[in-house]
Amino acid sequence: EGEMDFLLEEGRFNSISKEENIMLVGVFTKEEVKAVVWNYDGNKSLEPDGLSFNFINACWDVIKGDILSAVNEFHGYRQLVVT
pLDDT of residue 46: 74
Tell me the residue length of the chain.
Answer: 83
Q: How far apart are CA 54 and CA 51, in angstroms?
A: 8
- Model pLDDT for residues 19-78, shown as the tens digit of each residue: 888 888 888 888 999 998 889 888 888 777 778 888 889 999 999 999 898 888 887 776
Helix (H) or strand (E) holding 72: helix 60-77
Q: What is the pTM of this model?
A: 0.61
